[in-house]
């Protein structure tokens, strides 16, 4: 069995004002059940290593699980450029990438880049979850196994539309197009589902700032684009690209990975991972 843990960074609001995120990132980490416990144990050990001041050697397991290193905080530390905090942030992200590679995790996802004064359509979140489910289904089919999606819970009024389309597709009379998903996506909380914490780090402190660097250099009077984020793109871009799950569909087209819908400048999804020199 394989599990896909999905989180988001940004929101659906129009790109107006200083605080409005210029991108919306919705992405998932896919990990095999056989690797899950080892990945979680390694990540808990990493949390204790980086946050010794709040997680001493005597800390209870429940406290280590609940304690979160938030992706938005790491992003802020990198942006502010305070040496000690920036060094810790890069250390955490290096360790996260090492763990994903060690335990053979893959990435699927969707990035919406906003135009000035515009936001994505009202159905962008359910549509992105449906696209991720299709990618996940292709991965499960290739591996001849089943899987389940765990989404970071928001509110009920937001949760229900996120999976309604998938539930309909699975149980309509014409047949199930997502046969390897054992159930419609379920919802979890990051303080109890450890891999959702990893998903937050990948989405909030890697994909979100990298998308800002790659697609939003022309966004003015906004808090989010920052020159420091280009360093993340250079340091992690190629490693993240290698973690994408890509596949060939029935028509021979390449699908999957992190799909970017750039409404600003119509740039390629591959630009998310390329550094300015093109190396």
Query: What residue segments make up the domains of the chain, in order of their start?
Result: 2-272
For 110, the 3-state DSSP assignment is strand
Q: How far is CA 254 from CA 35, 177, 202, in A?
A: 27, 19, 23
What does the pLDDT average to over 198-225?
Answer: 96
Higher pLDDT, 121 or 195: 195
Q: Taking a C-beta distance cutoff of 8 angstroms, is the pair 74, 231 a contact?
A: no
Q: Can you tell me the distance from the alpha carbon of 214 to that of 227, in angstroms, rounded to the nearest whole number?
A: 11
Pairing of strands 186-188, 23-32: unpaired
Estimate to the nearest angstrom the gap between the alpha carbon of 217 and the chain centroid: 21
Which helix (H) or strand (E) element contains residue 6? strand 2-9
- At 132-159, the pLDDT tens digits run 999 999 999 999 999 999 999 987 777 8
Over range 202-209, report the average pLDDT: 98
Structure tokens at 254: 């390449």
Q: What is the mean pLDDT of the chain?
A: 92
Return d(Cα 202, Cα 9) in angstroms, integer.
10
Phi then psi for 148, rounded to 5 degrees?
-145, 145
Q: Is 80 left (phi over 0), alpha (psi -120 to 50) or beta?
A: alpha
Report the pLDDT value the prediction gives residue 204, as an integer from 0 to 100: 97
List pLDDT tens digits, range 215-273: 999 999 999 999 999 999 999 999 999 999 988 887 888 888 999 999 999 999 999 99
Q: For residues 275 and 171, give the distance between their C-alpha atoms in angstroms, rounded to a whole number.
A: 44
pLDDT at 277 over 80: no
pLDDT of residue 279: 47
User: What pLDDT score was predicted for residue 162?
Assistant: 77
pLDDT digits (tens, 9 = 90+) for 77-101: 999 988 999 999 999 999 999 999 9
Residue 173 confidence class, pLDDT cut points 50, 70, 90? low
* Cβ–Cβ under 8 Å, residues 44 and 65: yes
Inter-residue contact 259 to 111 (CB < 8 Å) = yes
> pTM for the complete prediction?
0.94
Q: Which residue has the tokens 């979890």?
A: 188
What CATH number labels 2-272?
A: 3.30.420.10
| The pLDDT value given to residue 170 | 82
């Amino acid at each position: 069995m394989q599990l896909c843990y999905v989180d988001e960074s940004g929101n659906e609001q129009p790109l107006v004002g200083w605080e409005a995120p210029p991108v919306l990132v919705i992405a998932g980490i896919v990990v095999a059940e056989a690797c899950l416990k080892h990945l979680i144990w390694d990540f808990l050990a990493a949390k204790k290593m980086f946050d010794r001041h709040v997680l001493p050697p005597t800390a209870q397991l429940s406290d280590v699980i609940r304690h979160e290193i938030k992706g938005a905080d790491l992003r802020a530390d990198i942006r502010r450029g305070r040496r000690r905090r920036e060094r810790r942030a890069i250390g955490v992200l290096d360790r996260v990438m090492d763990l994903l590679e060690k335990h053979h995790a893959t990435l699927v996802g969707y990035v919406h880049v906003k135009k000035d004064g515009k936001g994505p359509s009202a159905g962008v979140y359910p549509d992105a979850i449906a696209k991720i489910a299709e990618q996940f289904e292709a991965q499960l089919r290739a591996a001849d196994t089943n899987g389940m999606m765990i989404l970071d819970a928001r509110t009920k009024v937001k949760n229900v539309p996120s999976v309604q389309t998938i539930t309909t597709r699975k149980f309509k009379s014409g047949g199930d197009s997502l046969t390897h998903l054992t159930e419609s996506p379920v919802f979890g909380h990051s303080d109890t589902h450890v891999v959702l914490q990893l998903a937050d780090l990948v989405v909030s402190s890697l994909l979100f700032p990298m998308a800002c660097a790659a697609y939003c250099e022309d966004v003015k009077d906004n808090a989010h684009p920052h020159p420091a984020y280009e360093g993340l793109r250079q340091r992690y871009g190629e490693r993240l690209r290698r973690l994408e799950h890509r596949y060939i569909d029935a028509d021979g087209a390449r699908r999957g990975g992190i799909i970017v819908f750039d409404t600003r400048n119509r740039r390629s999804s591959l630009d998310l991972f390329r550094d300015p020199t093109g190396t």
